[in-house]
Structures are given as C-alpha cells and as structure tokens.
C-alpha cells in the first residue's frame, strides 16, 4: 500500500515518529504498519 503512513496516521505521523524514536529507538515494538523510529518520508 503506497503512502500507508498518511492513510493510517495522517498529519500525526511525523510527531509519532519522534515519540517512537524516544521511547522505542531499537524498534522492539514492530509490525508491518508500525511507525519507524526515524521519519523517512
């Protein structure tokens, strides 16, 4: 699915990646549609 991050998280995606980087930098909580620890868009 192209642009899944926009469809799932909308305008919150960038902020959520910052939260992910702070609290889960090793990407322990990972699944196919999870938020990556670094914003790559």
pLDDT at 14 over 80: yes
| Residue 40: closest CA among 7, 1, 5 | 5
Q: What is the 3-state secondary structure (H, E, C) of the chain?
A: CCCHHHHHHHHHHHHHHHHHHHHCCCCCCCCCCCCCCCCCC
pLDDT at 8 over 80: yes
Are the CB atoms for 39 and 6 separated by under 8 Å? no
Q: How many structural domains comprise the chain?
A: 1
Q: How far apart are CA 32 and CA 41, in angstroms?
A: 16
- Averaged pLDDT for residues 6-18: 90
**Domain ranges, residue 4:** 1-41
- Averaged pLDDT for residues 15-37: 89
Tell me what pLDDT residue 37 has.
Answer: 76
The token pair at 18 is: 């910052």
Of residues 29 and 3, the one with the higher pLDDT is 29
């Amino acid at each position: 699915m192209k642009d899944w991050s926009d469809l799932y998280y909308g305008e919150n995606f960038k902020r959520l990646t910052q939260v992910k980087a702070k609290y889960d930098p090793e990407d322990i909580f990972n699944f196919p549609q999870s938020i990556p620890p670094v914003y790559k868009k």
